[in-house]
């Protein structure tokens, strides 16, 4: 079983739709709008740089050489080696790298070309273009009229320096605010119409002049462009399609499930417009009205209702990172898979958490793994595909049977693994008495649950106790995965609960990496992060 699982794990795709070029020294991507170059804070959503480094072992040492504003799309180059980092840094410092942007504006001016050399001074969130002075950094940009699109003037901008907001501030000062740039007086739009379309540099190893180009697609809203950049539909056809206020639709969420779209609506939010936009795609459309009291009703009350398009089968399959899962819309509160854990499940498949941090040194083949609160065994399937022998524990026989079904869909014999029905805390005590040890333990409990054996479990109150009980079963240098979506459970408090729970067992943290939700669940001021996950290597 171990050898077959290893060959399956290797089949996970390692390239991305946004990838333009890669060799030993360079990685070049087409960054979508609405995504930071790097994370703005330790508990904020990952920037594209952070996300890439934690996705593939060969990208773990990526270095940022230049940046694009969050809402600017286009060509972004990262260094993969010290040689590339040194060479590209020097090229940028000496202004040898040539950059070209495309912007659109609805403001006419008579000039066809002009150059701006000014000083930029920060005022709040924006920068003001001022006459050159000694106090403020100098920025220099060449502008040239490039054509027309949808009644808008297209301009090419060639920055000779690399200041924050340089093109946006200088264009606005000349009466050409970029469309969608509300910060600088641009006409509101679904995205910022500014795109880094061309980058020319010398290859750090060969010295050859190479050019990277990505055409602009201003017509695609930023939330669509972001999904197109990170989701490879040949291996993943289930993801968060629309994420509330972060995507400009407060209270409205939508998930893609193969040929079905499942809307989640809070309160009286208007979802009719979203249905009209989906109708032409030929997909089925379902609606789930989000209600804080939904768990007090019957399973039928929590099931989504059909709105439009083809009716979903009672059970259908989806793909995620090449892994198959059974989905059922008529099973109550959840459909069988939590999409916000996609990146964490992938980490099991590729054995990579971060730089010098594999899930297990040498891989999971032959390792013992324990998945608590296993639900339909999504994590279990991925660990098994990577070669582990998995013990899955859940309080529901129905979900464990569903988990066995997911094993079978992926050619994994369920009988080669353990499926334990019952209370997690009770099973942790029983496994400890049997002196069981696991190289990997996964803890993804519900925010609130109750059982006859252990009573009421509340994530914020009881997480340290859960970690303590599970940590006693962890093999030396084992990996512990912890997760919660409890809204009031702050990241710092969550991490402290892990530390405290392990400390009560005399266990020491060797390494730990924290992750929020994946990029198709974007984080913004209006839509803060809710998912908190941590991978911990324990001494």
Q: 162-184: per-residue pLDDT in tens?
A: 999 999 999 999 999 999 999 99
In 183-314 the beta strands, taken as DSSP E runs, fall at 194-202, 209-213, 238-243, 252-257, 260-266, 284-290, 305-308
Angle at 284 between CA 278 and CA 374, to 5 degrees: 115
Size (the chain), residues: 539
Q: Is 351 left (phi over 0), alpha (psi -120 to 50) or beta?
A: left
Mean pLDDT of all residues in 244-273: 89
Look at residue 476 and tell me whether its pLDDT is greater than 70.
yes
Lowest average pLDDT, out of 21-25, 129-133, 288-292, 361-365, goes to 288-292
Is-contact 239 520, C-beta < 8 A? yes
pLDDT-derived band at 450 (thresholds 50, 70, 90) equals: confident
Residues 167 and 434: their CA atoms lie apart, in Å, by: 65
Neighbours of 36 (CB within 10 A): 22
Instruction: Pick 295 or 394 by higher pLDDT.
Output: 394
Which residue did the predictor score with more confidence, 213 or 279? 213
How far apart are alpha carbons 393 and 55 in whole angstroms? 28
Helices 459-471, 424-433: inter-axial angle, 10-degree rounding: 20
For residue 196, the Cα-to-chain-centroid distance in whole angstroms is 22
Phi, psi dihedrals of residue 384, rounded to the nearest 5°: -70, -40
Q: What is the mean pLDDT of residues 350-354?
A: 97
Structure tokens at 61: 């040492």
Place of tokens 């990496």: 513
CA-based angle 257:216:169, to the nearest 5?
115
**pLDDT at residue 3 is higher than 60:** no
114 — pLDDT class (breaks 50, 70, 90)? very high
The architecture in CATH of the region 319-538 reads 3-Layer(aba) Sandwich (3.40)
Q: What is the pLDDT of residue 291?
A: 67
- Kindly give, in sequence order, each residue whose CB lies less than 8 Å from that of residue 292, ignoring residues fewer than 6 positions away: none
* Distance (Å, whole) CA 539 – CA 306: 50
> Could you state, in order of their start, the residue ranges of all structural domains in the chain?
18-213, 234-314, 319-538
DSSP 387: T
Annotated catalytic, 69?
A: yes
> Tokens 């060639």 correspond to what residue?
158
> Mind listing the pLDDT tens digit for each residue in 217-234?
999 999 999 999 999 999
User: How many CB atoms are located within 10 Å of the residue 220 CB?
Assistant: 17
Residue 292 has pLDDT above 70, yes or no: no
Mean pLDDT of 70-79: 97
- Rounded to 10 degrees, the C-alpha dihedral 216/218/221/227 comes to -10
Q: Which of 303-307, 320-324, 350-354, 394-398 has the lowest mean pLDDT?
A: 303-307
Which of 340, 428, 413, 333 minimizes the C-alpha distance to 381?
413
What is the percent of the chain with per-residue pLDDT over 70, rounded to a whole number?
94
Q: List the structure tokens of 287.
A: 């609606």
Q: What is the pLDDT of residue 411?
A: 97
Catalytic residue among 69, 255, 444, 520: 69
| Least confident segment among 69-78, 241-250, 294-303, 304-313 | 294-303
Bigger pLDDT: 110 vs 281: 110
Is the model more confident about 366 or about 271? 366
User: CB neighbours of 427 closer than 8 A, spacing ≥ 6?
Assistant: 372, 393, 420
Local confidence band at 425 (pLDDT 50, 70, 90 cut-offs)? very high
What is the average pLDDT across 518-526?
95
Per the prediction, the chain carries an average pLDDT of 93
What is 28-45 written as a DSSP string? EEEEPTT--SS-SSTTSP
Give the pLDDT score at 7.
36
Q: Of 498, 427, 504, give the one whose Cα is nearest residue 460.
A: 498
Q: What dihedral angle (degrees, nearest 10) is formed by the CA atoms of 180, 181, 184, 188?
A: 30
Question: pLDDT: is 85 or 456 the higher one?
Answer: 85
Give residue 214's pLDDT band: very low, low, confident or very high (50, 70, 90). very high
Class assignment of domain 234-314? alpha beta
Which option is the CATH number for 18-213: 3.30.2350.10, 3.40.50.970, 3.90.1150.10, 3.40.190.10?
Answer: 3.30.2350.10
pLDDT value at residue 297: 55
What's residue 472's pLDDT? 96
Q: What is the pLDDT of residue 276?
A: 67
CB count within 10 Å of CB 385 equals: 28
Name the CA dihedral angle for 417, 239, 195, 173, rounded to a multiple of 10 degrees: -120
Point out which residues pair with 538 in neighbouring strands: 509
**Banded model confidence at residue 10, pLDDT cuts 50, 70, 90:** very low
- What's residue 298's pLDDT? 61
- Between 451 and 407, residue with greater pLDDT: 407
């Amino acid at each position: 079983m171990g050898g077959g699982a290893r060959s399956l794990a290797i089949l996970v795709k390692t390239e991305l739709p946004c990838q333009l070029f890669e060799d030993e020294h360079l990685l070049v991507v087409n960054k979508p709008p609405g995504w930071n170059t790097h994370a703005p804070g330790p508990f904020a959503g990952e920037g594209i740089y952070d996300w890439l480094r934690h996705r593939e072992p060969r990208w773990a040492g990526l270095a940022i050489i230049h940046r694009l504003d969050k809402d600017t799309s286009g060509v972004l180059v990262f260094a993969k080696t010290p040689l590339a980092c040194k060479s590209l840094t020097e090229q940028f410092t000496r202004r040898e790298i040539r950059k070209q942007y495309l912007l659109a504006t609805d403001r006419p001016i008579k000039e066809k070309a002009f150059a701006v050399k000014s000083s930029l001074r920060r005022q709040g969130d924006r920068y003001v273009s001022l006459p050159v002075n000694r106090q403020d950094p100098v920025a220099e940009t060449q502008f040239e009229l490039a054509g027309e699109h949808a009644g808008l003037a297209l301009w090419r901008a060639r920055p000779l320096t690399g200041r924050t907001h340089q093109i946006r501030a200088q264009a606005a000062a000349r009466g050409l605010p970029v469309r969608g740039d509300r910060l600088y007086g641009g006409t509101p739009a679904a995205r910022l119409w500014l795109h880094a379309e061309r980058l020319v540099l010398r290859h750090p190893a060969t010295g050859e002049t190479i050019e990277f180009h990505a055409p602009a697609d201003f017509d695609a809203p930023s939330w669509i462009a972001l999904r197109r950049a990170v989701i490879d539909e040949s291996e993943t056809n289930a993801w968060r399609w629309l994420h509330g206020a972060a995507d400009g639709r407060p209270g409205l969420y939508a998930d893609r499930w193969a040929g079905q779209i499942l809307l989640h609506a809070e309160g009286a939010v208007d979802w009719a417009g979203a249905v009209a936009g989906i109708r032409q795609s030929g997909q089925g459309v379902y609606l789930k009205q989000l209600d804080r009291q939904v768990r007090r009703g019957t399973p039928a009350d929590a099931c989504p209702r059909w709105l439009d398009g083809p009716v979903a089968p009672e059970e259908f399959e989806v793909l995620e990172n090449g892994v198959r899962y059974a989905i059922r819309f008529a099973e109550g509160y959840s459909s069988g898979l939590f999409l916000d854990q996609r990146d964490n499940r992938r980490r099991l498949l590729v054995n990579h958490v971060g730089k010098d941090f594999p899930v297990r040194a040498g891989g999971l083949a032959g390792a013992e793994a324990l998945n608590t609160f296993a639900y339909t065994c999504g994590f279990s399937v991925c660990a098994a595909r990577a070669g582990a022998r998995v013990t899955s524990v859940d309080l529901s026989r129905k979900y464990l049977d569903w988990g066995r079904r997911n094993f079978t869909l992926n050619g994994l014999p369920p009988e080669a693994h353990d499926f334990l029905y019952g209370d997690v805390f009770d099973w942790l005590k029983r496994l400890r008495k049997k002196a069981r040890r696991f190289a990997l333990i996964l803890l993804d409990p519900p925010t609130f649950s109750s059982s006859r054996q252990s009573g009421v479990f509340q994530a914020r109150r009881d997480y340290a106790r859960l970690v303590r009980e599970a940590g006693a079963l962890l093999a030396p240098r084992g990996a512990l995965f912890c997760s919660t979506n409890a809204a009031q459970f702050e990241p710092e408090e969550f991490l402290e609960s892990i530390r405290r729970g392990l400390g009560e067992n005399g266990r020491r943290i060797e390494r730990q990496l924290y992750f929020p939700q994946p990029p198709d669940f974007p984080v913004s001021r209006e839509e803060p992060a809710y998912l908190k996950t941590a991978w911990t290597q324990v001494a």
